[in-house]
Amino acid sequence: MQEVELFNLGPIFKLLLLAAVVAMGPLAWVWLRHRHQEAPQRVRQLTALTLFLCFDLVLFGSFTRLSDSGLGCPDWPGCYGHASPFGAGEAIEAAQTAMPTGPVTLSKAWIEMIHRYFAMTLGVLILTLAVFSWKRDRSVWGWPTLSLIWVCVQGAFGALTVTMKLFPAIVSLHLMGGMLLLVILLMQLLRQCHAPWAQSRIPLPTSVRRWLMAAWALLMLQIVLGAWVSSNYAVMACNTYPLCQGAWWPEMNFDKGFDLWRALGMDGDGQALPFQALTAINFTHRWHAMPVAALLLWSSFLLYRHGLTTQARGLWLLVLLQIITGISNAVLGWPLLAALLHTGSAAGLLLLISWALGITESRPSGHIPATFSRPDL
């Protein structure tokens, strides 16, 4: 089979031009729809739209992975040196003929390239927001700058995901990077919505904020474990619930399962990864989910008790969805819809906890007023 140059920057300018043209759509829509508003209000709307599109991109990235399309174009940033699969048709056909059950097909190439087009367009929108903050509103430049830096880091992880042939650690970092970009864009939006920032935050007892921070950290760890399950294709290592392979404690190999720097399907010595290692990966994610769910439900109760009913109800619903889709992935053979909903609800939970932390501040219980003015959320 023909050797492929993994990094081929030949089509980079065409791809950047395409991303700029596509980005003109949401930019024009926001500016025209809110043309009678002041510039900061239009920027706020663009940030909200960018956050929404980033959430969509996380889901589409999950779809790319679940459909085994991550290597549909085995080079970066184009597809066999072309800006689209149209120009790479001959190379794709040759690769598919040489390996009929391999990762390269025309449909998978399109899925992978659409994911890249989407990511580059998001990068253009984030760059636009950063430039505006530098020129017009330097009081809120921190988050836009961080989002710009982080989307570039995400692009690097995306390139390495392809060129390192779905290396599990890189794939996991790429997924986590997408989740963190969501949080950064949310903080950017909240910072734009509340000015001055310090006077608009809702007071919460210090103990409640600590519970929320613990929930955020434990949820992030659970998402990391979920990314490790997905990147190692370990979902079906336990295909029943609550038992795994008919046992509460099946045979497992944690050392090989959590050897982080290794190729897909291999252990650290270059040998085939044993099934017991995949079982250990799945088992850890499954049982860590229980304290995470309990802490999220407790956080939901605390938020409801202190008047943050939207976030509280959202947590309840998304925890329930996580449980249903998590079990469905095991017992129904990893259906695509359930897997996508599992990823989406995890991102939603992270956003809700981050939202609650972003609009509140710690106050000693005795210093919280009986009533306070809730900011416009």
pLDDT at 367 over 60: no
- Same structural domain, 164 and 268: no
Whether the Cβ atoms of residue 201 and residue 308 lie closer than 8 Å to each other: no
Q: Give the residue among 27, 23, 20 at the shortest CA–CA distance from 43.
A: 27
Mean local confidence (pLDDT), 129-152: 87
238 and 291 fall within a common domain: yes
Residue bearing the bigger pLDDT, 137 or 262: 262
CA dist., res. 20 & res. 12, Å (int): 12
Asked whether 179 and 223 are in contact (CB, 8 A), the reply is yes
Q: Return the SS3 of 93.
A: helix
Which of 193, 222, 256 terminates a domain? The answer is 193
SS3 at position 204: strand
Q: Are 162 and 264 in contact (CB under 8 A)?
A: no
pLDDT digits (tens, 9 = 90+) for 270-325: 999 999 999 999 999 999 999 999 999 999 999 999 999 999 999 999 999 999 99
Asked if 178 and 154 count as a contact pair (C-beta separation under 8 A), the reply is yes
pTM given for the model? 0.93
Beta-ladder partners of 8: 77
Same domain, 222 and 160: no
Distances (CA, A) of 126 to 15, 101, 342, 352, 362: 17, 38, 26, 22, 31
Region 107-111 average pLDDT: 96
**Shared domain check, 164 and 299:** no
Whole-number percent of the chain with pLDDT over 90: 82
Same domain for 179 and 317? no
Question: For residue range 227-271, what is the model confidence (pLDDT) as tens digits?
Answer: 999 999 999 999 999 999 999 999 999 999 999 999 999 998 999
In this structure, are 223 and 187 located in the same domain?
no
Boundary of a domain, candidates 193, 214, 230 = 193
pLDDT at 370: 42
User: 228 and 146 share a domain?
Assistant: no
Query: Based on the domain organization, do 4 and 45 belong to the same domain?
Result: yes
Considering its fold, how many domains does the chain have in total?
A: 2
* Contact present, 147 and 188 (Cβ < 8 Å): yes
Instruction: Report, as residue numbers or ranges, the catalytic residues.
Output: 112
Question: Residues 146, 8: one domain?
Answer: yes
* Interior angle at CA 11, CA 5 and CA 13, nearest 5: 140
Do 16 and 65 lie in one domain? The reply is: yes
What's residue 135's pLDDT? 84
Between CA 38 and CA 85 the distance in angstroms is 42
Q: What is the pLDDT of residues 160-188, one digit of tens each?
A: 999 999 999 999 999 999 999 999 999 99
pLDDT score at 349 = 98
**Residues 218, 189 share a domain:** no
Which residue in 237, 273, 272 sits closest to 258, CA to CA?
Answer: 273
Instruction: State the Cα–Cα distance between residues 190 and 377, nearest whole angstrom.
Output: 8
Same domain, residue pair 366 and 302:
yes
Check whether 14 has a pLDDT greater than 90: yes
In angstroms, the CA 148 to CA 58 distance is 17
- The domain boundary residue, chosen from 128, 159, 193: 193
Instruction: Reply yes or no on whether the pLDDT at 345 is more than 90.
Output: yes
The reported pLDDT for the residue numbered 111 is 97
**Pairing between strand 76-77 and 7-8?**
parallel
The domain in which residue 180 lies consists of: 1-193
Check whether the bond before 196 is cis (ω within 30° of 0): yes
